[in-house]
Amino acid sequence: MTPLDERALADCVETAALAPSLHNSQPWRFRISGDTVEVYADHGRQLEVLDPAGRELLISVGAALFTLRLAIGVRGWVPEVSVRPDPDTPDLVARIRADRATTPSEQVGALAAAIPARHTNRLPFTTAVVPADVIEQLAGAASAEGATLTVAGAVSRDAIIGLARAAEQRLGTRGGYRAELGRWTRPGPHRRDGVPPTAIGPWDALEHLPMRDFGLVHPQPFRPSERFEPHPTIVVLATGGDGPADWIRAGQALQRVLLTATHLHLATTPISQALEVPAVRAMLTGTGDHRWPQMIIRIGYAAPAAATPRRPVGDILI
C-alpha cells in the first residue's frame, strides 16, 4: 500500500472540497502535516445574516469532513478522526490521521464514487415514488453518523412546505438579507464560489415548492417557468442535541445521506429556509423527543444537475 504522503493528502482535500455548503460558501480550510489533516472552520466565509450562530457553517464543514474521511478511506487507509480535539482552538473542527492500511469496503468505494456525481438539483423531479427500501437505506446512512432521517407523511410534508415558504418570505425582510444573497450569487466568469446562474433552475410555475430564490438580486434575463412535482418527497435530518458538535455530526450525516442518494440514482435538494428563522424552526422541533431538525431534503428522480465551481486547493490549504 502506498503511504499517504502530503501530496496524496492534498488530493484528498481537493476531493473533500466537493462537499455541499451553504450558498457554496466553502467555509473550510485544511492544514496537512505528515499523515494528518486538520480541518478548520473559516468564519470569514460565514453568512452572518442567514446563519448568525454558524450552525450551517459547521454543517458544511461536517460535510467536507465526511468527504475527506471517504477520500482517505478509498485510498486504502483507515481515517482516525478526532472531532474538536482542542478546546482552546474552537475553529479546529477535526484532526484526521491516515492510521493504518486496509482494503476499502464496497460501501466506501460506492460512496467515494458518488462524490463528484453529487450536485444540488433544483430542477423539477418526476412523479415516480421513492421506494421504501431506498428511504430505509438513506435512514441507515443518517443513523450510521449518529443522526436520524424521517420521511414526512402527507400532512407534515404540506406543513413543512408551508412553513418553508413563510420562512422564505420572512427572510426576505431581514436586514442585510438581500445584500448577503447578492454577494453569493453575483455572476462572474472567474468566480470559484457562490451559486452560479447555471445552478439556479427554473421557476416553479405553481409556486408550490419553497425553492430558495437565488435569482432574487441578480435576475437572469430569461428564466423558464416549469411545473414541479405536486407531491415532493421530503425528509428531515435531525440530531439529538443542538450545539457545535451536533452541527458537525449533522454535516457528516447530511453528506453520507446525499452520497447514498446519489449512488441510488436519486436527485437531492437541501431546503433550509425553514430552519433559518428561529420561530419557524421551533415549530418543526418536537417538544417531547429532543430531536433538533438540522436539514430538510427534497429527494426524487430528475435529469442531472450541473456542477458548481470550487476554489483551487491552494486557496484552502493553510
Shortest spacing between CB 90 and ligand FMN, in angstroms = 19
Instruction: Examine residue 54 and tell whether it contacts ligand FMN (CB under 6 A).
Output: no
Alpha helices by DSSP H, the chain: 6-16, 55-74, 106-114, 132-144, 154-172, 177-185, 244-263, 278-284, 313-316
Question: What is the grid cell recorded at 260?
Answer: 447514498
Among 4, 63, 81, 112, the residue binding ligand FMN under the rule CB under 6 A is 63
What is the closest distance, in whole angstroms, from the C-beta atom of residue 6 to ligand FMN in the complex?
Answer: 26
Among 29, 95, 157, 212, binds ligand FMN (CB under 6 A): 212
Identify which of residues 130 and 237 has a Cβ nearer to ligand FMN in the complex.
237
Handedness of CA 21, 24, 29, 33 (dihedral sign): positive
For residue 181, state whether it binds ligand FMN (rule: CB under 6 A).
no
Please return the burial class of 318, using the count of CB atoms within 10 Å of its CB with bins 0-12, 13-18 and 19+. Answer: exposed
Contact predicate 200/220, CB 8 Å: yes
Give which of 10, 12, 136, 152 is closest to 75, Cα–Cα. Answer: 12
Using CB under 6 A, which of 56, 145, 180, 246 touches ligand FMN?
56
d(CA 294, CA 56): 8
185 binds ligand FMN per the rule CB under 6 A: no
Interaction of residue 195 with ligand FMN, rule CB under 6 A: yes
Q: Provide the mask over 270-289, with x wherever binding to ligand FMN is found by CB under 6 A and - wherever it is not.
A: xxxx----------------
67 near ligand FMN, rule: CB under 6 A: no
Query: Which residues lie below 8 Å from residue 224, measured CB to CB, with a gap of 6+?
Result: 202, 203
Q: Which residues bind ligand FMN (CB under 6 A)?
A: 20-24, 56, 59-60, 63, 119-120, 122, 195, 212, 269-273, 308
